[in-house]
Amino acid sequence: MATTKKTPAKKSATSTGAGKATTAAVPQPGTTPGKSTKETTTTKTKGTEPASPTQTASPQEVGNGGELHQLAGGDSPPMTTAHGTPVQDDQNSLRAGDRGPTLMSDFAFREKIFHFDHERIPERVVHARGYGAHGVFENYESLSDITRASIFAEAGKQTETFVRFSTVAGNLGSFDLARDVRGFATKFYTDEGNWDLVGNNIPVFFIQDAVKFPDLVHSVKEEPDRGFPQAQSAHDTFWDFASLMPESTHMTLWQMSDRAIPRSFRMMQGFGVHTFRFVNEAGESTFVKFHWRPLLGMQSVVWNEAVKINGADPDFHRRDLFDAITAGDFPEWELGVQVFDDAFADSFDFDVLDATKIIPEEVLPVRPIGKMTLNRVVDNVFAEIEQVAFMTQNVPPGIDFSNDPLLQGRNFSYLDTQLKRLGSTNFSQIPVNAPRCPVAHFQRDGHMQMAPQSGRTAYEPNSFSGDDRGPREAGPAGHVPFPGEVTGETRRIRAESFADHYSQARQFWLSQTPVEQDHIVAAYVFELGKCEVPAIRERMVANLRNVDESLATQVADGLGMPLPAASETTVPARDDLEPSPALSILANALETFEGRKLGLLVGDGADASAVKRLQQGVAKAGGMVEVIAVAVGGATLSDGTLLEADQAIAGAPSVLYDAVAIVAGSDGTPLANEPAARDFVADAFTHYKVIGLAGSTDALVAAAGLDGKLEGDSAVLPVGSAKDATAFVSRLAGPRQWERDLRA
């Protein structure tokens, strides 16, 4: 218990290190009977408000040195050590004299610091930065004709899932909107074991053989002699590697496209990338590729916006997912499959075992087979998102591997990395990793064994019975590997069928809208422009000449360099592949504002009914509105009411919103005088956003440097009247104003 007795500040003998240590002035550990940690579980804080400064949820006292002691009682159970001993005082370590040295006998302090010192575990070597949530997968129809996987056995069957989205290159503390591939890893807790579909938001990969993975990752991570750049591919070592590995060209086109700067995890596709196998009850195999499609449609931000989002809100994607789920706005994805047989595989233009290739949807349609809904945020980020362990080799009966050499290498790698990170062979017992079906084996002991491994035997065969006997092999009910035939010499050799590195890169390029092509060119120019070694730029542009002349020319022009000769190819790019419209984000954009956010900047004196109409209209369209004012306290509206703000303008740049509206009062100068408000409008314009205006906004528009630029722009709309608000809200569902000429 804290002491309230004031003792005069005096130098005790022990403060000099001399003299006899005394504990007389230091209260001894309490003698109240302890409660076990189990009994002292605290109530969930999610959604609860902290007490106001004048309230307290438990008794409190001020200690000898003026320090605050919040005491057990009220809402608070007694604090204990990890071993359950009640802790007397969490503000002061045990001292010899009030100004003396700390004593080794303070086991509570020692334990607290010991645990703190060991809080960190190694972050993932790749995909370190991520965020996740729980969900459920519901199967549309029985797929028992092609797979015996129990998850697909019948229509309507539900299976619990956990998903982790991530970036690849950055460290754990990096920003969310790096230009990067996004991981899309799903754990299905099926009733025949966990199935981990560990995919990305891009359907191809940089390399064909897993032996190159460490090189790829080393090239994109910070350069080892200087420790930067963080979470970026825009540097010499990455482009050096990519330009020397023409197989990566196709993937770099995706990476330079808007796919690599998604607006939200909720608005990106996912892909299993590799060819897998479905195997049915009769043991027959069908090849399968997995696709996730977001029901909110795909959407991305523009690069200049991404750069600014990273400063304004480095947690943009994780906050977006957390906010949507906690608001009950559950994101959904449809799972689809491309299913094909050996005959298709043999006749297809490319090798289905080559992870740098897709099978265009126009060639082989994607069949929707179920839907996943993410409906629960985690209780604890470390316990769940950090400790979740995905492994491609986690497949239930009915799902099997192809011989894709990248997949084969991954199956080897993930088990290893989990041991390194989680530190124990028993990581499968961590709740987020634990299968929801029964687990029975003779694996024993190991660090942090949690299972009460009962019974007399830990081996089989054995002749015991009952609880002492233990499990036995499942035979044909187990995971029966597909008995594919293997022939050939043991050699380190890349199949000749993997040699075409440019045809599908060209197909991807030709499948993009002009706006998307511009973005790809700009991204190559930006990234290669960050390379200091001219030969690296040259080599990359030489490779791009094999993709498309106009792409290479535009990139060379953007870099201000002469167009180099095309690099030599083993297999020249084909020009007979039809464009695949399914590869474009913009060509497939949904007409909707659902799940999107309007930034509503409100000035003092703003028309109260105009503000209300916008809020209601956007809510009806399934979107969200965040109110922004000069001060977070809010703005006084025309009817005298105070509208509380969600954000102050200084912390709410327009890059955080899909569209903006500014409702000023009759005097527009206060907003025009606010530099952040000027940037708000100017950036919204530069980022092609829909802009709504009401009240006196001329001064602000002029201060933002947009005088005369808004006239005739069909995405700059009035929002003052009811009719205007309706037209504005319906325009929000449309695309950004790509035709806006920023150079004018």
Chain residues in the site for ligand HEM (CB under 6 A) = 124-127, 130, 164, 166, 183, 185, 198-200, 205, 210, 213, 273, 355, 388-390, 406, 409-410, 413-414, 417, 421
Distance CA 38, CA 77 (A): 11
Cα dihedral: 301, 307, 313, 316 (round 10)? 30
Is position 200 annotated as part of the catalytic site?
Answer: yes
Distance CA 272, CA 359 (A): 13
Residue 413: count of CB within 10 angstroms of its CB: 17
Residue 522: count of CB within 10 angstroms of its CB: 17
Token couple for 142: 């029985």
Minimum distance, C-beta of residue 411 to ligand HEM, in the bound complex (Å): 9
Contacts of 26 (CB under 8 A, 6+ apart): 92, 94, 95, 96, 98
User: Looking at residue 403, what DSSP letter applies?
Assistant: -
Minimum distance, C-beta of residue 275 to ligand HEM, in the bound complex (Å): 11
Minimum distance, C-beta of residue 298 to ligand HEM, in the bound complex (Å): 18
Is position 194 annotated as part of the catalytic site?
Answer: no
Q: For residues 406 and 544, which CB has a smaller minimum distance to ligand HEM in the complex? A: 406
Residue nearest to ligand HEM (CB): 183
The candidate with the shortest Cα–Cα distance to 275, out of 289, 262, 261, 263, is: 289
Tell me the Ramachandran region of residue 349: left when phi exceeds 0, alpha when psi lies from -120 to 50, beta otherwise: alpha
3-state secondary structure of 600: strand
Tell me the Ramachandran region of residue 682: left when phi exceeds 0, alpha when psi lies from -120 to 50, beta otherwise: alpha
Q: For residues 321 and 525, which CB has a smaller minimum distance to ligand HEM in the complex? A: 321
Burial class (CB in 10 A: 0-12, 13-18, 19+), 609: middle
Q: For residues 125 and 533, which CB has a smaller minimum distance to ligand HEM in the complex? A: 125
Residue 213, annotated as binding a ligand: yes
Task: Tell me which of 92, 127, 139, 687 is the catalytic residue.
Answer: 127
Minimum distance, C-beta of residue 394 to ligand HEM, in the bound complex (Å): 12
Cross-sheet strand order for the sheet of 597-602: 647-648, 624-629, 597-602, 659-663, 691-694, 716-718
Q: For residues 359 and 602, which CB has a smaller minimum distance to ligand HEM in the complex? A: 359
Q: In one letter, which amino acid is 303?
A: W
Distance CA 468, CA 431 (A): 26
Minimum distance, C-beta of residue 423 to ligand HEM, in the bound complex (Å): 12
Task: Tell me which of 92, 139, 194, 200 is the catalytic residue.
Answer: 200
Distance CA 691, CA 689 (A): 6
Q: For residues 183 and 665, which CB has a smaller minimum distance to ligand HEM in the complex? A: 183
Residue with tokens 């912390």: 651
Minimum distance, C-beta of residue 323 to ligand HEM, in the bound complex (Å): 21
Residue 526, annotated as binding a ligand: no
Token couple for 269: 């596709």
Q: For residues 420 and 472, which CB has a smaller minimum distance to ligand HEM in the complex? A: 420
Minimum distance, C-beta of residue 166 to ligand HEM, in the bound complex (Å): 5
Q: For residues 76 and 425, which CB has a smaller minimum distance to ligand HEM in the complex? A: 425
- Output the DSSP codes for 503-563: HHHHHHHHTS-HHHHHHHHHHHHHHHHT-S-HHHHHHHHHHHTTT-HHHHHHHHHHHT-PP
Q: For residues 202 and 732, which CB has a smaller minimum distance to ligand HEM in the complex? A: 202
Burial class (CB in 10 A: 0-12, 13-18, 19+), 550: exposed
Residue 414, annotated as binding a ligand: yes
Minimum distance, C-beta of residue 419 to ligand HEM, in the bound complex (Å): 10
Q: Which residues pair with 659 in a beta bridge?
A: 598
Catalytic residues: 127, 200
Annotated binding residues: 124, 164, 213, 410, 414, 421
Annotated binding residues for heme: 124, 164, 213, 410, 414, 421
